[in-house]
């Protein structure tokens, strides 16, 4: 589950839709803290109470994800930080445990959509 969420969170950035002011401002629309909102992946089609606590924090060159997964009756968390680069208008590239990942992202209003081969994850800005 941890690997799937991180993979989706980091491997699944698809569509970028910003208004013209955002495009011209030079500000990275990913910067900030995002709380998981919905998930539709190979492993999960909805969030449980535990998983709904997960979040991503984008800084200028690094991404930290904190993922929560249910193990038995317990809600366990793990945190991971990676460096990333943005290529073009909506492609994110990073290495996670030695494996190169490429994601496509979309930001629309306060929603960040990440889409990849394993599915789609949507976050809302905190």
- What number is the average pLDDT over the span 49-69? 96
Q: Are residues 8 and 114 in contact, defined by beta-carbon separation less than 8 angstroms?
A: yes
> Into how many domains does the chain fold?
1
Domain boundaries, position 58: 2-125
pLDDT of residue 27: 83
Range with lowest mean pLDDT among 1-5, 16-20, 72-76, 80-84: 16-20
CA distances in angstroms from 109 to 42, 63, 65, listed in the order given: 27, 20, 21
> Could you report the per-residue pLDDT of 109-124, keeping only the tens digit for each?
999 999 887 889 999 9
Residue 25 confidence (pLDDT) above 90 = no
The per-residue pLDDT for 97 is 84
- Predicted TM-score (pTM) of this structure: 0.77
Q: How confident is the model at residue 12 (pLDDT cuts 50, 70, 90)?
A: very low
Give residues with Cβ within 8 angstroms of 80, minimum separation 6: 6, 64, 65, 67, 96
Contact 112, 12 (CB under 8 A): no
Residue 20 has pLDDT above 90, yes or no: no
CATH number at residue 60: 2.40.128.280
Q: How many percent of the chain have pLDDT more than 70? A: 80
Q: How confident is the model at residue 7 (pLDDT cuts 50, 70, 90)?
A: very low
**Sole residue written with tokens 């930001």:** 107
Q: What number is the average pLDDT over the span 77-93?
A: 93
């Amino acid at each position: 589950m941890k690997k799937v969420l991180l993979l989706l969170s980091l491997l699944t950035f698809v569509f970028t839709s910003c208004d013209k002011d955002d495009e011209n401002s030079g500000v990275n629309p990913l910067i900030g803290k995002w709380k998981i909102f919905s998930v539709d992946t190979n492993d999960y089609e909805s969030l449980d109470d535990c998983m709904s606590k997960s979040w991503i924090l984008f800084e200028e060159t690094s991404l930290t994800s904190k993922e929560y997964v249910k193990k038995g009756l317990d809600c366990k968390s793990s945190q991971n930080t990676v460096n990333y680069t943005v290529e073009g208008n909506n492609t994110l590239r990073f290495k996670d445990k030695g494996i190169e990942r490429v994601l496509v992202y979309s930001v629309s209003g306060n929603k960040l959509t990440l889409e990849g081969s394993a599915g789609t994850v949507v976050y809302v800005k905190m």
